[in-house]
Amino acid sequence: MSRHKHIYNTSQWQRLRAAKLRMDPLCEYCPPERRCIATEVDHYRAISDGCDPYDMNNLRSACSRCHSSKTANGERLIGCDVNGIPIDPAHLWRV
């Protein structure tokens, strides 16, 4: 995130982030039966991969736990369905 940190300080990002959390207030990474309140917004495809940081279609509402886990593990699209949910039932997010 450090290279793109300036994006998160813009009013455009703050408005987009607030709009996304209003549209999707529950974590989109948690399993459906355990969805919790989203407090963060994640870029599904990384900005460093050339994705538009302000593309609403590339954003996912996330709880802190899921967002931190995804970021720490460097996970992106590998092993996930089209909604970003890990395919592996034993994956950390599904436990």
Q: How far is 20 from 51, CA to CA, in rounded Å?
A: 17
Predicted confidence (pLDDT) at residue 19 exceeds the cutoff of 50: yes
Weakest-pLDDT range from 19-23, 29-33, 39-43, 86-90 = 86-90
Q: What is the pTM of this model?
A: 0.71
Q: Which residues, at least 6 apart from 79, have a Cβ–Cβ distance to it below 8 Å?
A: 86, 87, 88, 91
Nearest Cα to Cα of residue 85 among 37, 54, 42: 42
Average pLDDT of the segment spanning 65-82: 69
